[in-house]
Amino acid sequence: MNIEIAIDTASKMPIYKQLVDQFEDSIRAGKLKAGEQIPSMNDFSSQMGISKETVKKTYGILREKGLIVPQQGKGFYVAELEKNVKPRVLVLFDKLSVYKEVLFNSLAEKLGDSAELTILTHNQSLELFSYYLDTYLDRFDYYVIAPHFPLDDRSQAMAAKLISRVPNRKLIMVDHWLQHHPGNYGVVYQDFENDVYEGLKQGLDKLRTTSMLNVLTLPASLYGGSICKGVERFCMEFSIPVTFMTSTPDELHPNETFLIVNSQLDWGLASLARKAKASNLKIGQDLYIISYNEFDLNEVVLDGLTTISTDFSQMGYTAANMILNRKIWKVHCDFKMTRRNSF
């Protein structure tokens, strides 16, 4: 066996886990070739000065992972990776919002037992993202990354530099596409400015009859600017009066529509619903609400909350298909308006 295996006795990691990781890294890196014999349990126990039980546990886990196979009367051999090894997938999201949960759950559901999934969140921190890459760069077969970072030039340049460390054949961007990143890699994305324009067109019949489209967005919204650009273009093209605001107005007027960007039940929507009730305005009849991003709870909120949203389930399924087929491509995710009681 042409690799060195070392045990760190000062580490809190169990010895068997250290051994499994080193064997796995060597096999996936091609340092141990398919068909190459590894030491017998007795020989390896003697070489490393560890118990046979520890070696037995190590080899057992390697067998379960499909990394080694036994041959009767001969010992253990390195397995053919393509046929036997589940791809290891690291999912790096900015946060685990309800929408990212939909994305991740659809990814996990489609992959099933065919891959090993690990999920981490970088919280839009470039320092944390860099740390994850330093720690895990050569440990996974695919990196499913939501590249949501501050939009200033310096941060975007740093994000691009960090992502370029991931080999393109292993890279799948989700939810957002850094289009200046070169090469052939996977992307499943939404286009915030153009998507909101197309989504609002699906409600044009109703919007033409309302007196004002009020757009509520938080100042800290990462893509609020792009979304507002799309709304502005839509309203200009179809002569829809529009107002942009960062908090709900003190007074509500009949026949107005509110588009709530970054809508969560604890901001915007709840405030608007309370004020509508206090003003004796019935949502869906006197006042209209459209929420940005779809999830299951929208079916029951306000007897049905109308949304415009990308398809986060499709996003997860598509990324999973790239992994299962070992083929990556770039695809724009579906975006649509789901009409319910509120609009």
- The pLDDT tens digits of the residues spanning 83-103 come to 566 889 999 999 988 889 999
- The pLDDT tens digits of the residues spanning 168-223 come to 989 999 999 999 999 999 999 999 999 999 999 999 999 999 999 999 998 778 89
Position 168 in a domain? yes
Any idea what the CATH number is for the domain that residue 36 is in? Answer: 1.10.10.10
Residue 266 has pLDDT above 80, yes or no: no
Position 7 in a domain? no
Tally of CA atoms within 13 A in the half-sphere of 124 that contains its CB:
14
Same domain, 36 and 92: no
pLDDT of res. 267: 65
- The pLDDT tens digits of the residues spanning 120-147 come to 999 999 999 999 999 998 788 899 999 9
User: What is the per-residue burial (b if ≥16 Cβ within 10 Å, else e) of 123-144?
Assistant: ebebeebbebbeeeeeebbbbb
Position 2 in a domain? no
Any idea what the CATH number is for the domain that residue 168 is in? Answer: 3.40.50.2300
Position 342 in a domain? no
- CA–CA separation, 132 and 129 (whole Å): 5
Residue 244: count other Cβ atoms within 10 Å of its Cβ. 15
Same domain, 184 and 320: yes
Give percent of the chain with pLDDT exceeding 90: 73
Average pLDDT over the chain, rounded to whole? 92
Same domain, 155 and 21: no
SS3 category, 89: strand
Same domain, 216 and 301: yes
Q: Which domain holds residue 22?
A: 15-83
Six-digit token string for 65: 């992972």
Same domain, 140 and 276: no
Domain total for the chain? 3
